Structure 1
Amino acid sequence: MKIALLGYGRMGKTIEQIALQRGHEVVLKVDEHTKNYDIKTADIVIDFSIPAVAFNNISNCLNNNVPVVSGTTGWLDKFNIAAELCKQNNGAFIYASNFSLGVNIFFELNEYLAKMMRNLNEYQISMEEIHHTKKLDAPSGTAITLAEGIIKNSDKKSWALNVTNKETEIPIIAKRINDVPGTHSVTYNSSIDTIDIKHTAHSRDGFALGAVVAAEWLVGKTGVFTMKDVLGI
């Protein structure tokens, strides 16, 4: 499989290592200094760029009939446009806020717990996410996905960054600490006890492996997909 990497920072370099280990070829590496390139040299694109250019990257792939896997967060106000563009071009597209196989299991656990806690009003819910200082968006896309999973299965209406209107909102605390790949926790607290679920990434390898697995799965398919489709959950 010939892979183009859009975004060649630490994450892009880790994806490259995993892809090469799995027998693939990286034919294009694009960063902020790359001016002109032909996306059609690739069988598939893996996009881990930055929020400001992610939508343009994805549109370019779909307009050129190149399947694209995107893990860039912070651009989702245009997700529906990208999804419609994919359908118009009969293309293939996967977006995930987190490609880690463990995190996607954590997403499912989070929703199941939210259903169990729905009518236990004595518990106050909160969330915390910690990432490296170079992460540009806050809260993380993973934290937003977790919050949306809770909202879907509870009486909460929205999430709020560093704000605590606990009646209708899920408060999210976002921290930025050097060299933290990603830690996410969901807490239900009462006067009697506390229930915590937590996922801690030890490196970027899990994210990179999941992205490459998603790319392998997407080749030859048509449509807009998620990691649930990839993992069959």
Structure 2
Amino acid sequence: MKAAIIGYGKMGREIERILRERGHEVALTIDADNASDLDAEHLEGIDVAIEFTTPATAYANIRTCLEAGTAVVSGTTGWTDRLAELQALCRERGGALFYASNFSLGVNLLFRLNRRLAELVGSVGGYQVRIDEVHHTQKKDAPSGTAITLAEGVIAGMPDKREWVNYAPGIDCSAHRIDDPAAAASNQVVIGSVREGAVPGIHTVRYESEDDCLELRHETKNRRSLALGAVVAAEFLAGKRGIYTMDDLLK
């Protein structure tokens, strides 16, 4: 497989290592200093582009790939209010797009466990839900895409939950922000966001009643698990058309 890497930071370099370990060719790397090279000419012959950049640049990067006829895997979070536009473009162009808020196998197992637990708790009633996420200080968006996916799983499974809100003291970019989690309405799921040190990612979902507490927790130890998942997704996507997620890969 001939791959392009869009976003050549720590994650991009880990992806490059894994691509080479698995016998693939890295034919193009794009970062801030050569962003203008992301065009149809440089993408010619690329089987799959793997995109991990920033919320401000992801949409344009993915659009460029789709318009050039290049399959693209993206794990950038914080911009997905426009994902539907790119999915429509992908269908229109007969392209291939794979998006996931988190490529870790363990996190995707967490998503499934959380959805099922939310359904069970929703059928019983009497529980409040809180999601907490901790990431390194360089993470640009809050709440994390993983936390949002967990909240969406809760909302899908519990009839009395309608939306999520974010408690993120000291983080300017948080969406749906509230200043006091105690002020959240009963139909809201609170996501607490913390940015500290070099933490790769910790996510906890806590279901609590007056009598007991159920908790799901996942801790990412390093970036390799995320990078490997992205490479496996690229291998899966190569030669395909359509829109895919981790649900499709794990089937």
TM-score tier, shorter chain, comes to: over 0.9
Q: Which runs of 5+ in 2 are unaligned?
A: 168-177
| Deviations, residues 50-90 of structure 1 (Å, cap 9, x unaligned) | 11110111111100110000000111111111001001110
Q: Is the 8 A contact 1:100 1:207 kept in 2?
A: yes
Determine if the alignment matches structure 1 residue 94 to structure 2 residue 102. Answer: no
**TM-score with structure 2 length normalisation?**
0.90
Maintained 8 Å contact 2:66/2:89: yes
SS in structure 1 of the partner of residue 32 of structure 2: coil
Q: Aligned equivalents of 1:75 and 1:122: distance in 2?
A: 34
After superposition, the Cα gap between the structure-2 partners of 1:184 and 1:35, relative to the gap in structure 1 and judged at 3 Å, is closer
Counterparts of 2:126 and 2:91, CA distance in 1: 45
1:2 aligns with 2:21: no
Task: Say whether residues 1:160 and 2:179 are aligned partners.
Answer: no
Task: Give the conservation status (yes or no) of the 8 Å contact 1:92–1:223.
Answer: yes
- Bigger shift: residues 102-111 or 190-199: 190-199
What's the counterpart of residue 182 of structure 1? 201
Where do 4+ consecutive residues of structure 1 move more than 3 Å?
none
Whether 1:26 aligns to 2:26 is: yes
Aligned counterpart, 2:233: 214
Cα deviation, 1:155-210, whole Å, max 9, x if unaligned, reads 20000001431411000100111111111000011232211100110001110010
Cα displacement (A) at 1:119: 3.5
Contact residue 27 and residue 41 of structure 1 kept, 8 A:
no
Which 10-residue stretch deviates more, 199-208 or 186-195?
A: 186-195
3-state DSSP of counterpart to 1:8: coil
Residue 138 of structure 2 is aligned to residue 134 of structure 1: yes
> Are 1:55 and 2:48 an aligned pair?
no
Identity %: 47
Task: Tell me the SS of whatever aligns to 2:140.
Answer: coil
Deviations 1:103-150 (A, max 9, x none): 111100000000110044332110000111000000000000111111
CA contact (8 A) 1:124 1:166 kept: no
Residue type at the aligned position of 2:244: F
Q: Distance in 2 between matches of 1:150 and 1:144?
A: 10
TM-score (norm 1): 0.97
